[in-house]
Amino acid sequence: MGQIHSQTAHCFFFPIQSTGKLFVLLLHDPSVSTSLLISSFQILQRELHSRNKKALEFIAKGWNALKEVDRVIDYCELNDKRLIPLLRTAKENFELALEADNSNTHARYWLSRLHMKYHVPGANKAVGAALLVEAAEMGDPDAQYALGCHLRVENDYVQTDQQAFYYLEKAVDQLHPGALYLLGVVYLTGDCVKKDIASALWCFHRASEKGHAGAAIAYGSLLLKGVEIPESVIKFSLKRGAAANRRGKNKGSGSIDPVEMAREKFQIAAKAGCDLGFKWLSRLEEEEKRLLMEGH
């Protein structure tokens, strides 16, 4: 790699890895014109965009290969030789994505899954774990959720539980549906945190909005058991407008029918293909028919 000189217009001939450092040097050099700074910044943007685009193309190819593996893996052995070409394709493309853009957290996450979950030639669980931690530390919500789950399941130490909770909260901050659901379960059961039904319902509510079937079932069933809807969820729902348009206007400000809210959640679960969603909807319909018959 060539040596960087901050006062020369020959910056345009430096390698991609040097451009970012060069721009910083130019930025702090009073002798450099504004037009040169703008040109350097535009080049940096184009290079970053090009690298990111190339990485995304590799990730898409790798993900498609892995998706095909997941489609057929239930019908064959885990180490079936027929899966190896697809697994190799996935691994090679995720590695190429990292070569194109080493800062891409999605490539790190998917490559970590390959190393840890699949019988791909050259797989190394230690490498997979290291990649997973890196992706989580770099802010990838899928990696944060996966690492939090891994730490909870694989270890029985108090310190590890605290670490798991730390990564789950990081994923929750980015509204990862799986993390929201799991954190809701933690609050509901009081596992390693103080039991908090209101926080559990809030987590289930937000996860269900993201299409998480388990969270939708948990939320709806708790409402039918008589658990009160937290004020935070009521305000959030009314603010979003959906609840205000369907229920609140005719029942006073801040009023939400828990049965209708539960039905809405079960519909989310049913839409996601969850059998429990259909069963709960059927039970609600039967109960309404029974009450109607008793009324007559």
Structural domains of the chain in order of their starting residue, each with its CATH number? 1-138 (no CATH), 177-296 (1.25.40)
Choose among 198, 207, 201: nearest CA to 172: 207
- Residues 235/250, Cβ–Cβ less than 8 Å: no
pLDDT at 3 over 50: no
Choose among 116, 119, 142: nearest CA to 129: 116
Length of the chain: 296
User: Higher pLDDT residue, 211 or 152?
Assistant: 211
pLDDT at 157 over 60: no
The predicted structure's pLDDT at residue 251: 45
pLDDT at 45 over 70: no
pLDDT grade for 273, boundaries at 50, 70 and 90: very high
pLDDT at 44 over 60: no
User: Higher pLDDT residue, 9 or 233?
Assistant: 233
Structure tokens at 197: 């039904």
In 138-247, which ranges are continuous DSSP H helix?
Answer: 141-154, 158-173, 177-189, 197-209, 213-224, 231-240, 242-243
- pLDDT digits over 195-219, tens only? 999 999 999 999 999 999 999 999 9
> How many whole angstroms separate alpha carbon 96 and alpha carbon 82?
23
Choose among 43, 40, 13, 29: nearest CA to 3: 13
